[in-house]
């Protein structure tokens, strides 16, 4: 047999076309599972932890806003039960007082007395 004939025989589709579909679907499922457990699930857990930390802010906590301003919380004005991340916080940064919404807080550092 010649080389082109062997190549055509090796690349010819199998007689049972359904048997070739199962490994392909398994590979797609495995790729989705890998993406879910390595990328999507950790990101969801991190987002939930961040939201919980933001909702647990109290007076005296050090925060960092999304704009890069570091300050200490001096007053919390809750806008209602369902406002949640829309509540207004008054922070003191240096000699200034600023009002920011809870949703624009990038990180919470805790109270300054607790830090070494």
Please give the Cα distance from 106 to 112 (Å, whole number): 17
- Please check whether residue 99 lies inside any domain of the structure: yes
- Please check whether residue 80 lies inside any domain of the structure: yes
Order of strands, edge to edge, in the sheet holding 62-65?
96-101, 88-93, 70-77, 62-65, 105-110
List, in sequence order, every residue forming a beta bridge with 96; answer none if it has no partner: 93
Which residues form the domain of 104? 56-110
Question: Would the pTM of this model clear 0.85, i.e. be above it?
Answer: no
Domains held by the chain: number: 1
- Please check whether residue 98 lies inside any domain of the structure: yes
CATH of the domain at 73: 2.30.30
- Please check whether residue 26 lies inside any domain of the structure: no
CB 101 within 8 Å of CB 85: yes
Label the pairing between strands 105-110 and 96-101.
unpaired
- Please check whether residue 48 lies inside any domain of the structure: no
**How buried is residue 100: exposed, middle or buried, by Cβ count under 10 Å (0-12/13-18/19+)?**
buried
- Please check whether residue 34 lies inside any domain of the structure: no
Question: What does the pLDDT look like over 60-85, one tens digit per residue?
Answer: 999 999 999 999 999 998 887 666 66
- Please check whether residue 105 lies inside any domain of the structure: yes
Question: What does the pLDDT look like over 25-64, one tens digit per residue?
Answer: 999 999 999 999 999 999 999 999 999 999 899 999 999 9
Please give the Cα distance from 19 to 12 (Å, whole number): 14
- Tokens found for residue 45: 């857990």
């Amino acid at each position: 047999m010649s080389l082109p004939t062997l190549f055509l025989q090796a690349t010819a589709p199998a007689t049972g076309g359904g048997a070739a579909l199962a490994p392909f679907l398994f590979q797609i499922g495995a790729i989705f599972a890998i993406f879910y457990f390595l990328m999507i699930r950790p990101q969801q857990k991190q987002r939930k932890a961040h939201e919980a930390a933001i909702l647990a802010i109290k007076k005296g906590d050090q925060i960092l806003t999304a704009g890069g301003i570091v300050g200490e919380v001096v007053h919390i004005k809750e806008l209602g039960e369902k406002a949640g991340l829309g509540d207004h916080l008054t922070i003191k940064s240096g000699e200034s007082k600023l009002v920011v919404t809870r949703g624009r807080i990038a990180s919470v550092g805790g109270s300054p007395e607790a830090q070494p």
